[in-house]
A and B are shown apart, each in its own frame.
Chain A
Amino acid sequence: MTLKLLAGLVLLLIALALQFSLAAANVYFDFSFAALIAFSLVFGFWELAFLVLVAVFIINWQPAVSAEILVFALFPFAVYFLRNAFRSQPWFLNLVAIFLGFLALAIAAAPAAFWASWRLFLPDLAAGWLFGTCVFFLLHQWGRD
């Protein structure tokens, strides 16, 4: 296992621990999803697959596939395959991808509730941007696979 992948795994576990700790206090931030989206811009396919599977294994709350888990697992791969199609700076692409990913997750999970109270989405997005940017810059120094 390379040092970069190990760093990614540690960052993912930190994201999950933070997410679960805050959820116990009824504060919900999707740090792990933001981390996976940032990973999709710096890791190769197999490393990304490994990290996504670790996250799905830990975060899935029921023994079945749900719309949320599908978006959570597949969106980082969509970003991975499209990352070369855009000419913008990678850090900016990371912000756009986090916005689109969080939007897709919210709409997949509870579309009616999302449109009724979209303001609740903003703190989650802000926290995701912050955490995703930190993860991106921490791993970007190793270069892109």
Chain B
Amino acid sequence: MKKRDGWSLVACIVILIVLVFLAPQYGARVRAWLGPLAAPQAISSILVAENEELKAELAQLARVAAQLPSSSPAYLPAMVYSRYPFNFKNEFLVDAGANEGVAEGKAVVFQGILVGVVLKTFPDSSLIQTVFDGNFKIPVRVGAAGDDGLLTGGASPKVASVAKSATVHAGDIVYAAAEGLPYGLPVAVVQGTSTSADNLFEEAALTFAYDENSIQVVAIAR
């Protein structure tokens, strides 16, 4: 390599080090430019999402309306910056952080549906763990009967540890019943049920009203 080329390369390396540590948001812009354009959310999927929200409200009213708080929690809108690029987790970064009042463990919703929780906060951004992450686990209730279960994340999230005596059917709404999250937030709809491998519990496969890769704006519970 010629001496002049060498100095140019060192200058490029210094600029990149500065960008990596002091201005990582520009990396997200390059990434957005390299990645595919996000398709706008289809009207049908918006309607399905609204339908799920209404179903969840009905399920709550049938059993626990009296226990619901009288005022709904305030939400902070946030744009999705970047997504986890590998195969091992399902996380994304949003443009609201501790400076905006975001706290770890808070619910993150998309069109009224729980999509994840705040995993880590930074001054101006937050890392969100989605329900499609293998480590995501929260207690949930299913349908109008409010049967208890454990939502376990992953590529195909499911509700596990449902009592065999429970009356869970396809089409039942699954809603959050976890400490720290607003009670009754809809999560998904039951697609079908099966018996667990150890034959002790029922499990429910889930269907989701949204394509997680098309999410661009979320709301974070304050």
Count chain A CB atoms within 10 A of each CB in B34, B125, B213 and give the residue with the most.
Answer: B34
| Interface residue? B48 (CB, 8 A) | no
Given contacts A57-B16, A110-B88, contact A46 B27 (CB under 8 A): no
Asked if B213 and A26 sit within 8 Å, CB to CB, the answer is yes
Asked if B86 and A21 sit within 8 Å, CB to CB, the answer is no
Asked if B27 and A57 sit within 8 Å, CB to CB, the answer is yes
Q: Residues of A contacting B35 with CB < 8 Å?
A: 17, 20-21, 23-24
Given contacts A13-B34, A24-B213, contact A46 B6 (CB under 8 A): yes
Interface size of B as a range: 35 or more
Q: What separation, in Å, do the CA atoms of A71 and B38 have in the docked complex?
A: 29
| Interface residue? A62 (CB, 8 A) | yes
Asked if B13 and A50 sit within 8 Å, CB to CB, the answer is yes
| Interface residue? A10 (CB, 8 A) | no
Q: Write out, one digit per residue, whether chain B residues 39-80 have a CB within 8 A of any chain A CB (1) or not (0).
A: 000000000000000000000000000000000000000000
Asked if A124 and B87 sit within 8 Å, CB to CB, the answer is yes
Count chain A CB atoms within 10 A of each CB in B25, B35, B91, B122 and give the residue with the most.
Answer: B35
| Interface residue? A109 (CB, 8 A) | yes
Q: Out of B8, B20, B36, B120, name the residue touching A56 (CB < 8 Å).
A: B20
Asked if B85 and A21 sit within 8 Å, CB to CB, the answer is no
Asked if A62 and B5 sit within 8 Å, CB to CB, the answer is no
Given contacts A16-B34, A24-B35, A49-B13, contact A59 B85 (CB under 8 A): yes
Q: Write out, one digit per residue, whether chain B residues 124-137 have a CB within 8 A of any chain A CB (1) or not (0).
A: 01010000001100
Q: Residues of B contacting A113 with CB < 8 Å?
A: 88, 134-135
Q: Write out, one digit per residue, whether chain B residues 113-145 have a CB within 8 A of any chain A CB (1) or not (0).
A: 000000010100101000000110000000000
Given contacts A2-B1, A2-B5, contact A64 B122 (CB under 8 A): yes
Q: Residues of A contacting B36 with CB < 8 Å?
A: 20-21, 24
* Cβ distance A109 to chain B, nearest Cβ, rounded Å: 4
* Cβ distance B186 to chain A, nearest Cβ, rounded Å: 22
Asked if A28 and B86 sit within 8 Å, CB to CB, the answer is yes
* Cβ distance B29 to chain A, nearest Cβ, rounded Å: 10
* Cβ distance A73 to chain B, nearest Cβ, rounded Å: 9
Asked if A20 and B19 sit within 8 Å, CB to CB, the answer is no
Q: Residues of A contacting B16 with CB < 8 Å?
A: 50, 53-54, 57
Q: Write out, one digit per residue, whether chain B residues 9-21 have a CB within 8 A of any chain A CB (1) or not (0).
A: 1101100110110
Q: What separation, in Å, do the CA atoms of A44 and B26 have in the docked complex?
A: 27
Q: What separation, in Å, do the CA atoms of A50 and B15 have in the docked complex?
A: 10
Count chain B CB atoms within 10 A of each CB in A23, A28, A57 and give the residue with the most.
Answer: A57
Contact residues, A42-68 vs B (CB, 8 A) = 44, 46-47, 49-50, 53-54, 56-64, 68
Nearest chain A residue, comparing its CB with the CB of B6: A46
| Interface residue? A133 (CB, 8 A) | no
Asked if B24 and A57 sit within 8 Å, CB to CB, the answer is yes
Q: Residues of A contacting B25 with CB < 8 Å?
A: 63
Asked if B9 and A50 sit within 8 Å, CB to CB, the answer is yes
Interface residue ranges, A against B (CB under 8 Å): 1-2, 5, 13, 16-17, 19-21, 23-26, 28, 30, 44, 46-47, 49-50, 53-54, 56-64, 68, 105-106, 109-110, 113-114, 120, 124, 145
